[in-house]
């Protein structure tokens, strides 16, 4: 049985695991699809096949679900959970503005951020490109660049903080 057949056959069981981990939270569907994608794009197909053959893939998938749901550094967190965390008291007033004024502020903010990115040094620009524009995880950037994941995280965090403070 290959990975696609396994997912088809065990879809309800795998989905129930996601539902149990999130305790029925609204993010259940997002977590489930994200982790299925992680499973399908795993480069170590041989390992996945061995887990299927040993009837242990369910445990591996559950571990992926748990790590992605509870980690504040997972790709799932940055895609689905972080946007709601980023809303601060300063941003609440934007909701009350008329549509035209809101668009103007949004455009101005984007232009400001783009100008700030232009003024970054070469290394920081590359981190921004890989992380924000290419949507790569810290782990993937570390693999590609051979730079420790912690250094990648610290660099991205530092860049975000510099730009936020100037806003």
The per-residue pLDDT for range 126-160, each reduced to its tens digit, is 888 888 888 888 888 888 888 888 888 888 888 88
∠ CA 43-60-64, nearest 5°, is: 80
State pTM to two decimals. 0.50
Is 101 in the same domain as 150? Answer: yes
- Into how many domains does the chain fold? 2
Residue 8 CA from chain centroid, whole number:
25
By residue range, what is the domain housing residue 7? 3-82
Is 76 in the same domain as 95? Answer: no
Domain final position from 50, 66, 82: 82
Is 7 in the same domain as 78? Answer: yes
> b/e map of 75-101 (b: 16 or more CB within 10 Å)?
bbebebbeeeeeeeeeeeeeeeeeeee
Six-digit token string for 116: 């700030």
For the chain (length 167 residues), average pLDDT per consecutive 10?
A: 91 92 86 90 87 91 90 82 49 45 69 84 86 86 87 88 84
């Amino acid at each position: 049985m290959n990975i696609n057949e396994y997912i088809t056959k065990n879809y309800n069981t795998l989905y129930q695991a996601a539902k149990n981990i999130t305790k029925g939270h609204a993010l259940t569907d997002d977590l489930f699809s994200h982790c299925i994608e992680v499973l399908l794009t795993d480069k170590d197909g041989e390992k996945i096949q061995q887990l299927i053959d040993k009837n242990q893939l369910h445990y591996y998938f559950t571990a992926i679900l748990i790590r992605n749901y509870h980690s504040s550094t997972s790709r799932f967190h940055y895609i689905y959970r972080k946007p709601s965390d980023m809303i601060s008291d300063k941003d609440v007033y934007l909701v009350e503005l008329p549509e035209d004024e809101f668009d103007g502020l949004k455009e101005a903010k984007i232009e400001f951020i783009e100008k700030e990115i232009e003024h970054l040094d070469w290394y920081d620009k590359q981190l921004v490109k890989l992380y924000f524009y290419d949507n790569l995880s810290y782990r993937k950037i570390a693999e590609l660049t051979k730079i420790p994941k912690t250094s990648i995280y610290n660099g991205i965090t530092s860049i975000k903080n510099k730009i936020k403070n100037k806003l």
